[in-house]
Structures are given as C-alpha cells and as structure tokens.
Amino acid sequence: MEFSYDIAGGDFSRAGAASSEVKKILKQLNVELAVIKRVVVALYEAEVNVVAHAADGVMQVTLDSASIEVVIRDRGPGIPDIALAMQEGYSTASPRVREMGFGAGMGLPNIKRNCDSLDIESTVGVGTTVRMVTFFNR
C-alpha cells in the first residue's frame, strides 16, 4: 500500500504533520508500539529537515505486512558532505531556526538509530533523497 504527503519548506507550524499521519496508519495496522515509535521518531526528524533546510518535499510511504519504506525527496540546497552531516551535533541551521528549538544537529544520527536501513543521496543545489526502511518483525 502506498501513501504520499507533501512537506512545505519553512512551514514549522506544520512540521510533524506527515509523520503523525503515518503514525495513525501504523496504529491501525496493529504494528508493535516500539516499532511505531522508532519509525515515527525517524520520520519526524527527516520531515523537519525538509522544513528546516529545503524548499519543499514529498514523503512517500510504501507498506506491506513485513516492512515500511519511506522515501523523502526534497528540492533544496542538498548536503555537500553527507558523512559530516551525519555527525552528532553538526548543524548548519540558522540562528532563527535554532531559536525555534530546531537545529541541534541530532536529526540525522537519530534517524540512523531509529531505522533498519538508511540511504541518503544528495546533489548540491538540487535536493536530497532520504530512504528509510524498517522491518516490523525483528
């Protein structure tokens, strides 16, 4: 089954809305609570990254009874050095974004911790694609 949600860059008031929708779906599917938690935490961070760093994006969810795959594709500045961005505490967030409580540089490490496989592709000046897979029974 597939779902997709649009994510608006810069709209912090709506940050987390797409992740909450996915959470609702997983609850209806009787996915184990601990797994839902991991998925949602990872999705929320990835969603916030689009809001904080990119122009706009789409969250595409593909589900079956074994796993959930989420691809978040955005149009934005891209990430020049992914390995550096993955480091805890690394952030390029503007002071304005930090004032809103985002930009602690823990997002990507948190995503990595909370999914079974993470794949990031990025082209500077074009955009970023984050692909996360989590298995339900592990």
Ligand X SMILES: Nc1ncnc2c1ncn2[C@@H]1O[C@H](COP(=O)(O)OP(=O)(O)O)[C@@H](O)[C@H]1O
Residues making contact with ligand X (CB under 6 A): 45, 49-50, 52-54, 74, 76-79, 85, 90-93, 102-108, 128
Q: Residue 61 contacts by C-beta under 8 Å, 6 or more apart in sequence?
A: 2, 3, 4, 5, 22, 25, 68, 69, 70
Q: Considering the complex, state which of residue 104 and residue 124 has its C-beta at the smaller distance from other proteins.
A: 104
Number of H helices, E strands in the chain: 5, 5
Query: What residues line the site for other proteins (CB under 8 A)?
Result: 1, 16, 19-20, 23-25, 27-31, 33-34, 36-37, 40-41, 44, 63-65, 101, 104, 136
Candidates 59, 66, 70; CA nearest to 114 is 70
Q: Are 8 and 14 in contact (CB under 8 A)?
A: yes
85 binding partner (options Mg ion, ligand X, other proteins, none; Cβ < 5 to 8 Å by kind): ligand X
- Choose between 26 and 50: whose C-beta lies nearer to ligand X: 50
Residue 51 contacts which entry, Mg ion, other proteins, ligand X, none (Cβ below 5-8 A, type-dependent): none
- Distance CA(65)–CA(126), nearest Å, equals 34
- Cβ within 8 Å of residue 121, ≥6 positions away: 128, 129, 131
Q: How far is the CB of 106 from Mg ion (least distance, A)?
A: 7
Where does this chain bind Mg ion (CB under 5 A)? Answer: 49, 107
Out of other proteins, ligand X, Mg ion, none, which partner does residue 82 contact, by CB within 5 to 8 A per kind?
none
